[in-house]
Chain A
Amino acid sequence: MLRAIIDNLKGLYSLLVGLSITGRFLLSPQRTVHYPRQVVAPESLASFRGPLELVPSADDPAKTRCISCQMCVRACPDNCLKVVKGEGGKAPAVWVYDFSLCCLCAACVEACPASALRFSHKVYLTALTRDELKLDLLADLKARAAKAAGGADARPPAQPPAGLEPQARL
């Protein structure tokens, strides 16, 4: 009986603790970003797993590290990768990645012996048809290299809508 009373008093105290926690949250600033008017700061997207992208080689940012060994193609559970070796040398001629099939499991990233694959941080990628999600990663790599070099024909990978300041917090 006495034990039950003590337990219940402890339970009441725990209810007060819960109320104090939610009361603190009620008064503290919110963590939500109002998307069309505000966007998340790019550094907060470092852990975001967007569609795959190719890692540029050390000497030339337009060249891939890929050696067309097909390890990623075999590792992929969704069969969303297509890599065709080019003439003369190991470099691939075709590197097509169907994002509409990809489950973002990272099996290809782990399987790659040349560390040529990684996840991008493209949050704002949208498409109207499935075909638009078949991404040519070699072209994407070249575009990124051209943009880094300051080329005029650079197609930005994925930018927030124009005129928006990234939020400092988050």
Chain B
Amino acid sequence: MALSLAVFVQIIVAVLLVIGLMVGNAVVMVYVERKACGFIQRRPGPFEVGPRGLLQAVCDSMKLLGKQIFVPGNIDWPLHFLAPVVAFLPVLLLYLPIPFGPYLTSLQVDDGILLILAFAGLGAVSNILAGWSSNNKYGLLGAARAVAQSVAYEIPMIMALLAVIFMTGTMNLTTLVEGQGGWPWQWNIVRQPLACFIYVVCLVAETNRAPFDLPEAESELTAGFHTEYSGMGFALFFLSEYANMLLVSFVCAVFFLGGWRGPFLDGFWWTFAKAYAIMFFIVWIRWTFPRVRFDQLLNLNWKWLLPLSILNLWLTAVVVKLAN
């Protein structure tokens, strides 16, 4: 694929659209999350700003924009200001290979999932930078946890995706979707249920969401690695967290739930509906389960998810070999 002018323009347009999607997603998800939290706890959630509290998230983001950026003393300030950018920028790249619809793909990449997995690792780097440069013990502890957690959970996550890749023989996300049918029993989740389960667990842990939100455990570490960030620095971390959530949901939809294929009328709406169903599931999980301890988190990964994912991968390889 030569980097011609057309491709360049396509990428610029795609990145702009992705930025719009990220911001819109964060605003919508903040509202959905607070409403779901309220309903689960049998209270109304945000209610006063706008009709049924619809403008609450908009007001919150305006407040964040107008906030003074407060910087503590003795920070490593180049790294301190680099960290939110490092958290935010790779996410733009990660959205490029996602096939939202049959024609709505920012960039056709043959190794799309490889690109996503490679650059998703930068999220952990931004967490380390933020925690280390803040000169704050909570930040440092949060960063240490973030690294141990994301390094650990990346392995079974890749193993789970690898099982599907073994089965279909492609890393191109568009081909992956085309290999699945419209009806739920034609999706990869039916052929790879264990891989899907492992992926969903790892997805929650990789995006630092409850019950695996140890790097930013409010009750223990105030806010973990982004304790010392205010205003736009915090907003960038926040944006990238929600964007990462949406991204892993899209990957899950493409890999296991048939992407844009639906029972009728294929199109990008199916991808979005599936991804947002997973997002809602993540929110639901957050307000249901208590946070695990750190040793429980790592035990779950190294003692259960990793052996299970290796077993699953091995079984898949054997079945694929026999079938051929």
| Stretch with Cβ within 8 A of A (4 or more), from B6-14, B56-64, B283-291 | B283-291
- Beta-carbon contact of B289 and A25 below 8 Å: no
Where chain A touches its partner, the secondary structure class is helix
C-alpha gap A29/B43 in the complex (Å): 9
**B288–A19 CB distance below 8 A:** yes
Q: How far does the Cβ of A138 sit from chain B's closest Cβ, in whole Å?
A: 41
Say if the beta carbon of B36 comes within 8 Å of chain A.
yes
Interchain CB contact under 8 A, B43 and A25: no
- A30 CB contact (under 8 Å) in B36, B44, B285: B44
Q: Give chain B interface residues in 199-227, CB to chain A under 8 Å.
A: none
Q: Does any Cβ of B come within 8 Å of A15's Cβ?
A: yes
* 0/1 string, B38-53, CB within 8 A of A gives 1: 1111111001000000
A30 with B284, Cβ < 8 A, contacts A8-B304, A15-B289 known? no
Interchain CB contact under 8 A, A31 and B285: no
Give the A interface residue count (CB, 8 A).
16
A28-42 near B? 1/0 per residue, CB < 8 Å: 111110100000000
B43: which A residues are within 8 A, CB to CB? 30-32
B-facing residues in A94-130 (Cβ within 8 Å): none
A44 to chain B, nearest CB (A): 16
Q: How far is the CA of A23 from the CA of B280 in the complex (A)?
A: 11
Contact A32 B44 (CB under 8 A): yes
Partner of B42, one of A8, A18, A32: A32
Question: Chain B nearest CB: distance from A126 CB in Å?
Answer: 20
- Answer whether residue A26 sits at the interface, using C-beta atoms and an 8 A cutoff: yes
How many whole Å from B310's CB to the nearest CB in chain A? Answer: 16
Q: Which residues of B sit under 8 angstroms from A28, Cβ to Cβ? A: 42
Additional A-B contacts beyond A19-B288, A26-B40, A29-B42 (11; CB < 8 A): A19-B284, A19-B285, A21-B288, A22-B288, A25-B41, A25-B42, A27-B39, A30-B38, A30-B44, A34-B44, A34-B47
5 closest residue pairs by CB, A with B? A22-B288, A32-B43, A31-B42, A26-B39, A22-B40
